[in-house]
Structure 1
Amino acid sequence: MIDRVGAPVSDIPRSRAFFAAALAPLGCSGIMEFGPDATDMDPAAAGFWRDGEPDLWIGGEEGLTGVLHVALSASDRATVEAFHAAALAAGGRDNGGPGLRPHDHSSCSAAFVRDPEGHNIELVCHAPACPPV
């Protein structure tokens, strides 16, 4: 289970716009932002959530380097497809289109995109009877 994930980014406004659009099909209902005056992070940070506290943070956090792979969960295949389409429309790059991933298990459906920073973002449906689109 993921409580939250933090990803280093070099252009917070660009990445904020990308994630706001890409996460809309998942029901992302909030964005929390902090500037360098409110936290020890420099530059600012933005957190995204569906229910309650932010689950995904982006920012200029020192010490975080490299490419992140984060898997987020979906309840159905239609959401996996909507995420992939929204992420590409927001400037993401395809890293594995929506479809079954039988090497994980027979009903696993997922899609992968690279965000503007090159991080690998996955949306996956693990439901045993994940309904087809």
Structure 2
Amino acid sequence: MFDHVVFGVRDFDKSKTFYQKVLAPIGIKTIAEDKLGIELSADGKSSLCIRRTPEDNPAHLHLAFVAQSREQVQSFHQIALQIGAKDNGAPGIRPNYSGQYYAAYVVDPDGHNIEMVYHQE
């Protein structure tokens, strides 16, 4: 269902420590860290990404759903736009992630970034 969930936090260091400790018992650990934040996962297939935010209010939620084909990504994008979502990235390969990362992005009615991603083989 989910590929990854991304959200911003007010106090990055405090949140980082919190999530690392409370998720450790179920095998979730940090698999990547950079200037944006951290990525946590147990299986490497789905992840929780915690981002640094410069604002007093954390960034909107980012939800990424797993697709089984490019066609599903395209359909998601087309339907979302038809029902009033704002385009935030047309379907296509995202080379900054990998040569197999095919995704589309829309902004939902509450301003959340919603993604559909197909990891090509």
- Report the TM-score, using the length of structure 2 for normalisation: 0.51
1:76 maps to 69
In structure 1, list runs of 5 or more residues that go unmatched.
Answer: 6-64, 129-133
In structure 2, list runs of 5 or more residues that go unmatched.
Answer: 7-57
Give 1:107 shift.
1.5
Instruction: Give the alignment partner of residue 121 of structure 1, picking from 111, 114, 117.
Output: 114
Counterpart AA for 2:65: L
| Cα distance change, pair 76–90 in 1 and its aligned pair in 2 (3 A) | same
Instruction: Give the alignment partner of residue 90 of structure 2, picking from 89, 97, 111.
Output: 97
Distance, in Å, in 1 between the alignment partners of 2:60 and 2:100 is: 28
Indicate the structure with greater strand content.
Answer: 2
What secondary structure sits across from 1:102 in the alignment? coil
Distance, in Å, in 1 between the alignment partners of 2:83 and 2:63 is: 18
Report if aligned partners of 2:91, 2:104 keep a CA contact under 8 Å in 1: yes
Counterpart AA for 1:114: V
Distance, in Å, in 2 between the alignment partners of 1:112 and 1:79 is: 13
Aligned residues: CA RMSD: 2.5
Task: Spell out structure 1 runs of 4+ moving beyond 2 A.
Answer: 1-5
Counterpart AA for 1:104: Y
Taking only the aligned residue pairs, the percentage that are identical comes to: 45
Give 1:75 shift.
0.7
- Report the TM-score, using the length of structure 1 for normalisation: 0.47
